[in-house]
Amino acid sequence: MVLNAALLGFGNVGQALAELLIEKQNTLRQDFDVELRVVGIATGSHGQAIDPGGIDLRQALELRRAGSSLEALHSGHPIDDPFRFLADSPIDLLFESTPTNVEDGQPAYAYIFGALERGVHVVTANKGPVAFGYRELAALARRKNVGFLFESTVMDGAPVLAIGREGLPANPILRVRGVLNSTTNYILTRMEQDELSFDQALGAAQEIGIAETDPTLDIDGWDSAVKTVILANVLMGADLRPLDVERQGIRHITLADVQAARAAGECIRLICQAERQPEGDVVASVTPQRVAVQDILASVTGTSSIVDLETETLPCVTIVEHDPGPTTTAYGMLADMINILRGRHLTDILPM
């Protein structure tokens, strides 16, 4: 089958996805009988291109890395608006990887809603729309009989949501506990192992490119809160928003705090947790905590992430992702596409 797709967002993740689609084209053809044709690419600052006959991904990557506009690849009247881009793109599936808005999930929510309304499958790496609109978007996808998958929103390419979706049937998840933000874990690790101050460790994270110039979303716990909400809502049937999460970041953590924890046989981690209460409600938090070095969450250092699922039948299911990057995030999107084509739609299985 021929599958027409568009990439909305062509930053680090979008470019890594394009490279992966090139690399896996023979596998898609031979193992899944899919001839993937990218007919549209939209960027925030390097133009937009639509070509119903297919866009040369290698050429698109060359243009993007040279800082040139993608408009040279466009066929038809000029496009300068993402909504017009989506309306004009003849697609079966949308890969969405625009920047996350932790305040309300817009405008990505509107992009995804519009695509689903048209009967287009959606794969997104964008946390915002899922954190703020999972139930609505999932219900719309069900009504339109299309896929809406978002594995890459929590732990890049690690199959956290897929395990909850397909690996734990009739086995309610009672508690989710993890370390989900690479930047804060790297900072705390450098403070712990190299005795750097918070500011020095943050500077080191910025030097290697894992922390933004303005690291607020990471160090104040917003990124972790959004991911915790996704896990709670999708895997536990909660109906939370990021502001419902008790949240405290790591900005106030000092080297003295880290040293005191180490002297006590402990370390500090930014712990994400969602737990079902006896009355049935789910309560979520993101807080720096001292954990014993024997605790499995203490074992994850640097940019790695971990999540521990406590279920009704299995005491603990633990997933660790080591040193993620754009390619691992892109892989999660590729896996989502394949799972949609295999009919494994998230909204048919997870609790609402």
Torsion angles phi and psi, residue 318, rounded to 5: -115, 135
DSSP 130-191: HHHHHHHHHHHHHHHT--EE-THHHHTTS-HHHIIIII-TT--EEEEEEE--HHHHHHHHHH
* Cα–chain center distance at 328: 10
Half-sphere exposure of 255 (CA within 13 A, CB side): 12
d(CA 247, CA 231): 16
Q: What does the alpha-carbon distance between residue 200 and residue 253 come to, in Å, rounded to a whole number?
A: 12
Q: Which is the catalytic residue, given 24, 127, 144, 227?
A: 227
Distances in whole angstroms, Cα of residue 305 to Cα of each of 108, 157, 255, 308: 25, 11, 22, 10
Q: Give the pair of three-digit tokens for residue 223.
A: 């990124």
Q: Give every strand in the sheet of 121-124, ordered side by side.
A: 48-50, 35-42, 2-8, 93-96, 121-124, 148-149
Active site residue 227: yes
Nearest CA to 145 among 352, 349, 345? 345
Q: Would you call 307 helix, strand, or coil by DSSP? A: strand
> At 282, which amino acid appears?
V
Distance CA 334, CA 5 (A): 12
Q: Which residues are catalytic?
A: 227
